[in-house]
């Protein structure tokens, strides 16, 4: 029974993280959104609080001091932790020769150092609770479009960090990652869908599954990975992309 278990979702104020928060709340979890965008975090709490116990803690996951503060506040509020979802992520898409070392470091800082800092800060509590970590990587860990070096490298690193953590923190803590493909998060943003181009039929049809993904797809898998039912699963990567990385695309 999951009732009363406690989760932290980084970047949970919008997009996939918010979708995971809604699902966990509906299943009886208590949730903290560790979100960098205060407006998004506060709006998500207003929207989702009727579903259960939900808190927002302003956090930049790339900052060691802010993650230490997050851990302190979470443990003071919940007295422990059962699930960490490392979801916060950013992309800077720029030609290689224009990408500055500072931009490279920022992407690595949020997408890879952030999960390391959060895993380190919450490891003792997760061990004590027999908890789980779910990292949100990307199919871009395995394939690329041009001008995405920092993002691809950060997600490849996150897939590797997943198995390293699984081996270090087991058997008490299971650590897995989800690598989503195209997930349409437009309905889950603080500004809503207004002004955004709707997806085309071709956008959906190119997927072997017949459609673009939605945050609920990721949330369902994250919830299963957090549950005792998946107790024999650790160190694994789950590609959740409607089949796109299995499709040959020669022109």
Ligand X SMILES: NC(=O)c1ccc[n+]([C@@H]2O[C@H](COP(=O)([O-])OP(=O)(O)OC[C@H]3O[C@@H](n4cnc5c(N)ncnc54)[C@H](O)[C@@H]3O)[C@@H](O)[C@H]2O)c1
Q: Which residues are catalytic?
A: 151
Q: Are 86 and 133 in contact (CB under 8 A)?
A: yes
Q: Smallest Cα–Cα separation from 24: which of 170, 132, 167, 169?
A: 132
Query: Positive or negative, the Cα torsion across 231, 132, 244, 22?
Result: positive
CB 34, min distance to ligand X, A = 6
Instruction: For residue 234, state whether it binds ligand X (rule: CB under 6 A).
Output: no
Nearest to ligand X of 87, 234 (CB atom):
87
Instruction: For residue 222, state whether it binds ligand X (rule: CB under 6 A).
Output: no
Q: Binding to ligand X (CB under 6 A): which residues in 123-142?
A: 136, 138
Where does this chain touch ligand X (CB under 6 A) — which range of 12-20, 23-31, 77-85, 199-207?
12-20
Query: What 8-state DSSP symbol labels residue 177?
Result: E
Chosen residue from 7, 14, 45, 133 binding ligand X by CB under 6 A: 14
Q: Could you give the CA distance from residue 169 to residue 116 in angstroms, rounded to a whole number? A: 13
Instruction: For residue 113, state whether it binds ligand X (rule: CB under 6 A).
Output: no
Chosen residue from 6, 8, 9, 17 binding ligand X by CB under 6 A: 17
Write the interaction track for ligand X spanning residues 174-213; mark x where CB under 6 A is met and - where it is not.
Answer: ------x-xx-x----------------------------
Chosen residue from 7, 8, 9, 16 binding ligand X by CB under 6 A: 16
Chosen residue from 24, 40, 74, 152 binding ligand X by CB under 6 A: 40
Q: Could you give the CA distance from residue 139 to residue 3 in angstroms, rounded to a whole number? A: 32
Instruction: For residue 32, state whether it binds ligand X (rule: CB under 6 A).
Output: no
Q: Are 12 and 6 in contact (CB under 8 A)?
A: no
CB 61, min distance to ligand X, A = 4
Q: Could you give the CA distance from residue 85 to residue 68 in angstroms, rounded to a whole number? A: 16
Q: Could you give the CA distance from residue 219 to residue 235 in angstroms, rounded to a whole number? A: 19
Binding residues for ligand X, how many (CB under 6 A)?
Answer: 26
Find the DSSP H helices in the chain. Answer: 15-26, 38-48, 64-78, 101-108, 114-129, 149-169, 201-205, 215-226
Nearest to ligand X of 28, 92 (CB atom):
92
Instruction: For residue 148, state whether it binds ligand X (rule: CB under 6 A).
Output: no
Instruction: For residue 242, state whether it binds ligand X (rule: CB under 6 A).
Output: no
Q: Binding to ligand X (CB under 6 A): which residues in 63-102?
A: 87-90
Query: What 8-state DSSP symbol labels residue 197?
Result: P
Q: Could you give the CA distance from residue 232 to residue 23 in angstroms, rounded to a whole number? A: 22
Q: Are 176 and 237 in contact (CB under 8 A)?
A: yes
What is the binding site for ligand X (CB under 6 A)? 10-11, 13-17, 35-37, 40, 59-62, 87-90, 110, 136, 138, 180, 182-183, 185
């Amino acid at each position: 029974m999951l009732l009363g278990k406690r989760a932290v979702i980084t970047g949970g104020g919008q997009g996939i993280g918010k979708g995971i928060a809604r699902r966990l709340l509906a299943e009886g979890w208590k949730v903290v959104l560790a979100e960098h965008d205060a407006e998004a975090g506060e709006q998500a709490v207003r929207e989702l609080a009727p579903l259960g116990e939900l808190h927002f803690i302003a956090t930049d996951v790339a900052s060691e001091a802010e993650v230490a503060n997050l851990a302190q506040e979470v443990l003071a509020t919940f007295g422990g932790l059962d699930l960490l979802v490392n979801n916060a992520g950013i992309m800077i898409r720029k030609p290689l020769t224009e990408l500055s070392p500072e931009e490279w470091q920022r992407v690595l800082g949020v997408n890879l150092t952030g999960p390391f800092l959060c895993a380190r800060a919450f490891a003792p509590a997760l061990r004590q609770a027999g908890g789980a970590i779910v990292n949100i990587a990307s199919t871009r860990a395995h394939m690329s479009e041009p001008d995405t070096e920092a993002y691809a490298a950060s997600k490849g690193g996150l897939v590797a960090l997943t198995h390293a953590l699984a081996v270090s923190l087991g058997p008490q803590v299971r650590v897995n990652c989800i690598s989503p493909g195209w997930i349409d998060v437009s309905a889950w943003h603080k500004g809503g869908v207004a002004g955004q181009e709707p997806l085309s039929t071709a956008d959906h049809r190119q997927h072997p599954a017949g459609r673009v993904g939605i945050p609920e797809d990721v949330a369902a898998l994250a919830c299963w990975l957090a549950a005792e039912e998946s107790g024999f699963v650790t160190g694994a990567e789950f590609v959740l992309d409607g089949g796109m990385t299995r499709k040959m695309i020669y022109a």
